[in-house]
A and B are shown apart, each in its own frame.
Chain A
Amino acid sequence: MFETFIQSFRLRNAYKVNTVIYSIKQIPIIKRILPDALYKSKALKIIGTIISIIWELCSIFLGKLIYVAAVIFGMMSLYEANQTGAFITIFTFLTIAGAMMNTYMFNPTKDKYYAMFIMRMDAKKYTLSNYTYSIIKVIIGFMPFTILFGLMSNINLGICILMPFYVASAKIMFSTYSLWKYKKSGITINENKPIKFIWGIVGICLILAYGLPYIGITIPQLGFAIIGILAVIIGLICIWYIKNFDQYREMYKEILTDDNINVQKNAQDIAKENVHKQIDISEGITSNKKGFKYFNDLFVKRHSKILLKSAKRTAAISLFIIAIVIFATQLNGEFRTKVNELLMNSLPYFVFVMYLINRGQVITQAMFMNCDHSMLTYSFYKTPKSILLLFKERIKSIVFVNLLPAIVIGLGLPTILYFTGGTDNIYNYLILFVSIISMSVFFSVHHLVLYYLLQPYNISSETKSTTYSIASFLTYLVCYYMLQVKLPTTYFGIGTILFAVLYSVVSLFIAYKLAPKTFRIRV
């Protein structure tokens, strides 16, 4: 048994170390310096092993420290009820929830798949030895913190020591129940996809954990001692069941399906699948346009989930917020003055808002994955004429879709301004409206032009262009910085409008000149 454990531990370690090296190799500049032979390097393996041991230690202690300190001890001090009782009550019920959500045994992970199915290790030995290890980790990991925080909450030392065993027993009991259920009905449990029944119990536990101390009901120390000892006794009986269970291999065959662990899939494939799902399959979508207009029209209609529908939703939410703000300003004079001041000085704030609600990046990603990814292999699609014709159609749709919420916000801001006492300069109403609209157009143009000039994806939809990543990040950074900027709306508004117009004209011109050369699949 111990041998199996050592083997599986080494296997898991090799896998973790290679993952560490692989991640290091993904960093752009380092990638070129480091050769593939890296995976052979002894020194790096040792460093990787050290990192993975540190990680293992963190997983034993750090999580539990945060859990006990923040989720239990931290929350407890918010209550007025007796602290000792509150600690015990929260701990007791959260443990029940945790036993169901965090079983180790029913967590479908890749290392289990590799060990049991690729390396053909004995499923029972593998599971039992690793399960024992995980339970020991629970006990050792909890012990220092239940003692430390328990004593700080005036809990008897004996109770503090009992607590980790209670946690382990709760986990063992739930695992036994799950094994029993599988044996009886063939139903497997996947802790990452809990069924409704389990969600229900978890919900009740959460309510009891935080609710009971709130109304002054807590579990006394003696009560917990009884619960704890009872749990440990039942837990010991359960161990016997787990040890004698003989269908581990069959059960894991069901738990470790491709779907659960994504063995064959990487992040890109999952992203691709998600984008594919956005295609609207409802019948009756047609178009009476021709050529590229027809093509683009069908694209827009079949992607309304991320285009028009999403824009309408944003517009509706914006309208709702604006209505509430207007309503609130009528009730409260102080709020009214503040909002007025905000509108006159914090227009830069809306650069970030407009950045967040712009769908440009999502749309261009869908354009690539659901359309250009395949179409760019056809030569007729890559002729300069085709590229520019489609670019023209796309810029129209992307601007149009994003204008919908922009118009709502653009009209909403001057309206709020009017209701909060107006402004000395009548032009400010107009400036607010036009600058919001031009921000929206700017972001739409910006995303599409970046996409056409840098086309960052390769055939398997990985982002291959560092320039694109940097450009996107800079865009975010600038917009985020705008949150800090305070400038009079009149000047900032006029500046924004001029900038947006200039940027759009220049970048559209550049895209028109260069896109026929740059719009290719990256190899």
Chain B
Amino acid sequence: MKLIVEGVKKKFYKKEVLKGIDFTFEQGKIYGLLGRNGAGKTTFFNCLNEDIKIDEGKFIIEKDGENRRLNISDIGYVVSTPNVPEFLTGREFLKFFLEINEKTIQNPKTIDEYFDFMKIDKEDRDKLLKDYSHGMKNKMQMLINIIAKPNILLLDEPLTSLDVVVAEEMKQMLKEIKKDHIIIFSTHIMELALSLCDEIVILSNGTLEEINRDNLDNSEIKDKIIETLKDETVIQ
């Protein structure tokens, strides 16, 4: 499976944020999306997630040799500040999610198996989500997004605010599930991008550019990334 981005453009008032993005993402890889503040990473994600309409271009899914338009159910979007319905308990949220996606979830597990998989403690499962810690809310959000096995998983700075143990758990989990997905991971932490991601993609001057990692050691890649990022002319 591939996600093909073709000539995607987006303007806000007069400011052109995405200036014609052409790129192909492939299944089985984690893409590290780097870019300076205001470069348009979140805008790009919002466009993929249909939160904003794009001005030009299209997103296409190529699967088994057939092309079709990307639609909303292809996407799982994990935002940096975790969003969970505060008035439900963890268990209720999961139950609701499993019920309405009955038909699309293959080989569903029991609710507790999912909690075990995400390492959410037994005593927390029946608490209201409003009383969950930041890290636990994040786990919940991640869990909901991966159960349905969306083709594309967008992660916006998901590990930054987690403690080291949870962050490590999440990293392992992403590596485990990557074979079934296209994972695009936006971050400001270069070390994280280098250790977790298979490809490094830079959003700069409104376009996407892949950093070629062949035959380069980590410090050479870092220099190259910094070099590319410095080229960014329009900074908010």
Q: Which residues of B contact A292 (CB under 8 A)?
A: 96, 100
Q: List 9 A-B contacts (CB under 8 A).
A: A292-B96, A295-B96, A298-B87, A302-B88, A370-B87, A374-B86, A377-B79, A379-B49, A380-B97
A16 in the interface (beta carbon within 8 A): no
Q: How far is the CA of A379 from the CA of B130 in the complex (A)?
A: 21
A521 in the interface (beta carbon within 8 A): yes
Which of chain A's residues 286-338 have a Cβ closer than 8 Å to chain B?
Answer: 290-292, 294-295, 298-299, 302-303
A276 engages B77 (CB within 8 Å): no
Interface class of chain A by DSSP: helix
A156 in the interface (beta carbon within 8 A): no
| CB proximity of B93 to chain A, nearest CB, Å | 9
A521 engages B51 (CB within 8 Å): yes
Q: Which residues of A contact B86 (CB under 8 A)?
A: 276, 279, 370-371, 374
Q: Which residues of B contact A276 (CB under 8 A)?
A: 86, 130
Q: Which residues of A contact B85 (CB under 8 A)?
A: 370-371, 374-375
- Number of A-B residue pairs at CB separation under 8 A: 72
B100 engages A380 (CB within 8 Å): yes
B144 in the interface (beta carbon within 8 A): yes
A2 in the interface (beta carbon within 8 A): no
Query: Which one of B51, B77, B87, B128 contacts A520 once the chains associate, using CB atoms below 8 Å?
Result: B51
Among A276, A298, A378, chain B packs the most CB atoms within 10 A around the CB of A378
Q: How far is the CA of A296 from the CA of B99 in the complex (A)?
A: 13
| CB proximity of A465 to chain B, nearest CB, Å | 15
Which of chain B's residues 55-111 have a Cβ closer than 8 Å to chain A?
Answer: 72-77, 79, 83-88, 92, 95-97, 99-101
Q: Which residues of B contact A415 (CB under 8 A)?
A: none
Contact with B along A338-362 (1 / 0, CB 8 A): 0000000000000000000000000
Q: Which residues of B contact A370 (CB under 8 A)?
A: 85-87
A373 in the interface (beta carbon within 8 A): yes
Which of chain A's residues 354-413 have a Cβ closer than 8 Å to chain B?
Answer: 370-371, 373-375, 377-380, 382-383, 386
Besides A279-B86, A298-B87, A380-B148, 16 new A-B residue pairs in contact (Cβ under 8 A), listed by A number = A32-B13, A279-B128, A291-B96, A298-B88, A298-B92, A371-B85, A373-B83, A377-B77, A377-B83, A378-B144, A379-B49, A380-B73, A382-B50, A383-B73, A520-B50, A521-B51
A523 in the interface (beta carbon within 8 A): yes
B52 in the interface (beta carbon within 8 A): yes
A226 in the interface (beta carbon within 8 A): no
A386 engages B79 (CB within 8 Å): no
A281 in the interface (beta carbon within 8 A): yes
B145 engages A290 (CB within 8 Å): no
| CB proximity of A140 to chain B, nearest CB, Å | 48
Contact with B along A245-283 (1 / 0, CB 8 A): 000000000000000000000000000000010010100
B46 in the interface (beta carbon within 8 A): yes
B99 engages A375 (CB within 8 Å): no
| CB proximity of A27 to chain B, nearest CB, Å | 17
Contact with A along B206-228 (1 / 0, CB 8 A): 00000000000000000000000
B50 engages A294 (CB within 8 Å): no
A303 engages B87 (CB within 8 Å): yes
